[in-house]
Structure 1
Amino acid sequence: MLLGAIADDFTGATDLANTLVQNGMRVTQIIGVPDENTDIGQAEAVVIALKSRTAPVAQAVQQTVQALDWLLAQGAAQILFKYCSTFDSTAEGNIGPVADALRTRLGTDFAFVCPAFPANGRTIYQGHLFVGDRLLFESSMRDHPLTPMRDADLVRMMNAQSDGRAGLIPLSDVAAGPSAIAARVAQLKADGICYGVVDAVSNEDLRVIGIAAAGHKLITGGSGVAIGLPDNLRREGLICPASLPEPPEAPGRAAVLAGSCSAATRRQIAHVAQDWPTRKLDVDSIANGDPVTAETVEWALSQPADMPILIFGSADPEEVRATQERYGKLQAGLMMEETLGEIAVALRDEGFGRLVVAGGETSGAVVSALGITALRIGPEIAPGVPWTQALAPSGPALALKSGNFGQDDFFRRAFAAMLS
């Protein structure tokens, strides 16, 4: 293994694994902290998927360091800490504290900070994160139920979360090339700064940043920052071109399980709700102890077998706020995630072989409930979202979609891709 990565949620891990596969690396995605019996096969890169984005800070740090120690023991020479391209976090973390812990364990005094993902409209200019043509805090991320984003200045946000100081590597340096980035890094380090927020507005910028990252022990950012890393290894003769992945084998019925409350996922639900059998889960019924899982599975089995079904707990911001007021922010989300996980297990046992899961926290709950420990990365459906195949234990084909990713017709595209 050459490259080790740690992602703070399951969809982010799949997103990153997809990026590395698309750029020619053999990748294994591991679910949770591996142990001595974990087999990575011939993988050149390993992506460890944690469910740590909104976990208590101490827990997130502990799990991440355990994952790091395992990657180092496997020979990883470079580590990538992957978080969301919208920098999902709060003033307390978890991005800053986890990055601090990784720097300390690796004994390095500097790391890039670059969540840019231009293919999905996430760009950085003058250290400010944009979603499309809007600053982060003006986007729908302002109303995220767990990590509402109220700032767009990544330097300021990193300084609020981290024990180390952050500075800017502006677009002018990126445009001037890797040597200019290296010169800026040297200047920042001389000033006692240990995090460099790097501007990027295109994939070409990310490739330049990737060249500049050669030799860095730690990189932090979104999946986009990994675009250029395989080229570094290829130039050194450490990897050869790899064939693109084959679609997973996935007999059986198809279902979408959506827990994300993002604007993108709500649009995707609306796009198919009039055509597909659709069922919305009620948080109050779950809280009351009603047999929601059993009733939902019974409903699912009664639907036509030749078309996908949609089961969702997604809601608009006002409904989410009302639910959180009744049950608490974390508890409301946990009830929905656990129920969707239970439904996923029951559907798998009833012959559903293709599952699209919308939302990072929901994907974590579903994959954990299914007992999956490793995934093979298949073909890309949309930027950042591939089909995957559960390897250990063998199981259904899964598309784990970040709530904000994908076109309005993403659910249709996903199942159409399985047939092409």
Structure 2
Amino acid sequence: MFLGVIADDFTGAGDIAVALAKGVGDAGGLATVQFLGIPTDNAPVGTEAGVVALKSRSISSEDAVSQSLQAAEWLLSQGAEQIIFKYCSTFDSTKQGNIGPVAEALAARLESTQVIFCPSFPANGRTVYQGNLFVKDVPLSESSMAYHPLTPMKDSDIRRVLAAQCKTAVGHVSYPHVLSGSENLTHAIEQCHAPFVVIDAITDDDLLTIARSQRGVRFVTGGSGIAPGLAHNFISDGRAQGQKPSVAGVTGPEIVLAGSCSSATLGQIKHHKAHHPAKLIDVDAVMAGTVSADDYVTFLLENTGKAPLLYSSADKAQLKRLQEQYGVEPVATRLDELFGEIASKAVSLGVRRIVVAGGETSGAVATALGHASLRVGPEIDPGVPVLSATDGSGVVLALKSGNFGTPDFFEKALHVMGETP
């Protein structure tokens, strides 16, 4: 294993896994396997990049640090030469968030005296300029992420957000240094003198430059945008051959589950409802205990072959009402449990293709299904791969971050999941 990744949520793990597997251009990427939780067995033979998917973004910082260190130890035991701490390209972390504490703990374990922070992902409109993160042409704090139910982003300056979370000094390397090339960038990072360094990046070429500057560096943090370049370092050095990701297609019964309240997912739900059966989860009934997973599984199974959609996603006003009435954590926890139970029951009754929208929802579904690892297949939309269970069950998944994907993502995902290379 050349590269080891610690991802703070399940959709983010798939996001960086497909980036590593896809690599750069015709050179291809690394043979990549995604592990759900901290593995207890060795990685499959031939694994060149291992991605450990944790659900540590919204838990206590102490638990997040503990789990991340355990993941690091396993990756190191598998021979990983470079460790990446992967977080969302919108940083998704409040002043009490876990990115800073986890990065500090991993840096100490890996004896890294200087660590870059590179959340940019231009393919999905996430860029960093003058230390501030933008979503397309809007500052992060003015985007829909400002209203995220668990990690509302009220500050676009990544330096300030990170500094509020940790004791480590945070510096910045500006865009002109990135444009000057990898050698000059390496020097600029060193001259920054701060242990943590936020780096500007606007284009994919910028990310390749940054990745080249990190050749041989033990510990890197960022979004998935930097991953193709990091994988390519091993290929260009002649240590890996490079390949394209593929998995066998599955044409079995299908369901779509959506728990994200992001604007992208809401648009995808609206598009899908116009052409396919869809049912809104009654959150009030769920909280009252008057509706069960079986009620919703019945709807899904009655409509297999029609790409049925089950969703709990709500607009801002409805979400605010539910959170005020029941509390943020109780609503999120109960819906996660429900989605996990629905997915598990559906698979036991023959469902083989599952599309999930939302990081927390994806984590709940993947955990409930209990797959130890997933092979990374082709990319559906930027940052979202087909994931095939390695246990012979024939289940394929598409775990989508709430903000990712085109309006027709659900239909597209089911189509790609059914294709055989």
TM-score w.r.t. structure 1 length?
0.96
Name the residue aligned to 1:300: 300
Contact 2:247 2:375 in 1 (8 A): no
Name the residue aligned to 1:343: 342
Unaligned runs of 5+ in 2: 24-28
Q: Give a deviation string over 1:261-286, Cα, whole Å, max 9, x none.
A: 10100000000112211111112111
Name the residue aligned to 2:96: 92
Which range is displaced more, 320-329 or 107-116?
320-329
Name the residue aligned to 2:326: 327
Name the residue aligned to 1:157: 161
Which range is displaced more, 279-288 or 138-147?
279-288
Which range is displaced more, 193-202 or 389-398?
389-398
Question: Which whole-Å CA distance do the structure 2 matches of 1:77 and 1:394 have between them?
Answer: 32
Contact 1:248 1:397 in 2 (8 A): no
Name the residue aligned to 1:27: 32
Shift of 1:89: 0.6
Question: Which whole-Å CA distance do the structure 1 matches of 2:118 and 2:87 have between them?
Answer: 10
Contact 1:340 1:366 in 2 (8 A): yes
Name the residue aligned to 1:181: 185
Question: Which whole-Å CA distance do the structure 2 matches of 1:345 and 1:65 have between them?
Answer: 29
Contact 1:80 1:219 in 2 (8 A): yes
Q: What is the RMSD computed on CA atoms of the aligned residues? A: 1.2
Question: Which whole-Å CA distance do the structure 2 matches of 1:300 and 1:3 have between them?
Answer: 39
Shift of 1:301: 2.3
Shift of 1:355: 0.6
Contact 1:83 1:115 in 2 (8 A): yes
Shift of 1:187: 1.2
Q: Give a deviation string over 1:27-67, Cα, whole Å, max 9, x none.
A: 111110112x2433211110000000001111101000000
Shift of 1:393: 6.1
The amino acid across from 1:226 in the alignment is: A
Contact 1:248 1:387 in 2 (8 A): no
Question: Which whole-Å CA distance do the structure 2 matches of 1:393 and 1:65 have between them?
Answer: 30
Contact 1:372 1:393 in 2 (8 A): no
Name the residue aligned to 1:144: 148
Contact 1:90 1:147 in 2 (8 A): yes
Question: Which whole-Å CA distance do the structure 2 matches of 1:29 and 1:417 have between them?
Answer: 19
Matches within 5 A, 1:13-412: 13-23=13-23, 24-35=29-40, 37-189=41-193, 193-242=194-243, 244-303=244-303, 305-392=304-391, 394-412=393-411
Shift of 1:395: 4.0
Shift of 1:247: 3.9
The amino acid across from 2:261 in the alignment is: C
The amino acid across from 2:196 in the alignment is: Y
Shift of 1:248: 3.2
Shift of 1:112: 0.6
Q: Give a deviation string over 1:231-282, Cα, whole Å, max 9, x none.
A: 211232210121x223433232111100011010000000011221111111
Contact 2:201 2:207 in 1 (8 A): yes
Structure 1 pair 206/276, CA: closer, same or farther in 2 (3 Å)?
same
Unaligned runs of 5+ in 1: none
Shift of 1:353: 1.0
The amino acid across from 1:103 in the alignment is: A
Question: Which whole-Å CA distance do the structure 2 matches of 1:105 and 1:318 have between them?
Answer: 44
SS in 1 for 2:33: strand
Question: Which whole-Å CA distance do the structure 2 matches of 1:153 and 1:395 have between them?
Answer: 44
Shift of 1:320: 1.3
Question: Which whole-Å CA distance do the structure 2 matches of 1:234 and 1:300 have between them?
Answer: 44
Contact 2:254 2:353 in 1 (8 A): yes
The amino acid across from 2:228 in the alignment is: I
